Amino acid sequence: MDLSTTKVTFYNGNTIPVIGLGTWRSPPGQVTQAVKDAIDVGYRHFDCAHAYRNEHEVGNGLTAKIEEGVIEREDVFITSKLWNTFHLPEQVEHACRTTLRNLQTDFLDLYLIHWPMAYKEGDDLAPKHPDGTIIFSDADYVNTWKAMEKLVDDGLVKNIGVSNFNCKQVQRVLDVARIKPVVNQIENHAYLHQAKLTAFCAEKGIVITAYSPLGSPANRPQTNDIPLFEDENLKTIAAKYCRDPGQILIRYQIQQGHVVIPKSVTKSRIASNFDVFSFELDDADVKLLASLERDQRVCPEARALGHPHYPF
């Protein structure tokens, strides 16, 4: 493949930078500087969500660099996501406009339905019963999708997609879609390939965006399994290319044709994660990484177990 390839093209001809800065669980007070550092490094894609509770900080970082003249709004690709408590069609535009205000922009390049499950409507992002379990809503994401399409019609959003949807759920959207999803953003790394889902999306012309591409070491469940970053096979491959394990895992996603959104607030790590365009993994190493599959999910959204639209 072309080592300098830095964008992926959607079925509609629009493009997305192949690497973006993830902002999930980035500590409050550090996100603005991380965004500014990422722009200085060369990032032009930022992955956000209302549920991350830090979109205002992302907006501050983007606005600062625009005001400095380093970038213009059209230079960057901004993704955000519709949270589970806003799935009713009449709430979608309001939720989107809240995100636009927080990000200090007039439009989003990509807006995703964050999860297929709907929670009880309201501003509480995790509404709970007295016993602590999540209160579900019976809103159906296929109706939510029609409201997402209207956002495109109205110019608030350029592209729409889904996140954490399984094959059957993607197909249900396709069955009703006037504008089909450009992306399915899913957990994807060497311990969790979701091969059936990625093949299905490829067949349908839907791009995979891989979140937690490094195995989310900071958010891993406590198990006796070896963390991906400590896998001896990965260490061997990294040594072969004189690269760190994170760069190998990011390059691995790119060579599968995926968009990848590693998260960091440390400038040196942000820079390192972006430095993946000058080398290519050979076929043997790609196969070795593929063989590490453990079906090990670090982001199961387990509090939604029992929801009729739970995807896993």
Indicate whether 4 pLDDT > 80.
no
Q: What is the pLDDT of residue 239?
A: 98
pLDDT at residue 28, as a whole number? 84
pLDDT score, position 216: 80
Mean local confidence (pLDDT), 34-63: 98
The mean pLDDT value for 79-95 works out to 98
- Residues comprising the binding site? 114
Q: Is the pLDDT of residue 198 over 60?
A: yes
For residue 45, report the phi and psi dihedrals to the nearest 5 degrees: -140, 130
For residue 115, pLDDT over 80 is answered with yes
Instruction: Tell me the C-alpha distance between 90 and 136, whole Å.
Output: 18
Report the pLDDT value the prediction gives residue 27, as an integer from 0 to 100.
Answer: 87
Record the tokens describing residue 125, joined without a space: 């992002």
pTM value?
0.97
Report, as an integer, the average pLDDT of 17-38.
95
Asked about 52 being catalytic, the answer comes back as yes
Of the candidates 52, 141, 191, 252, the residue annotated as catalytic is 52
CA-wise closest residue to 189 among 113, 301, 295 = 295
| Residue-level pLDDT at 20 | 98
**Does domain 7-304 bear CATH number 3.20.20.100?**
yes
Q: What is the mean pLDDT of residues 131-159?
A: 98
Per domain, the residue ranges of the chain are 7-304
Going by pLDDT thresholds of 50, 70 and 90, the confidence category of residue 250 is: very high
Report CA-CA distances (Å) from 24 to 32, 116, 119, 184: 13, 18, 20, 17
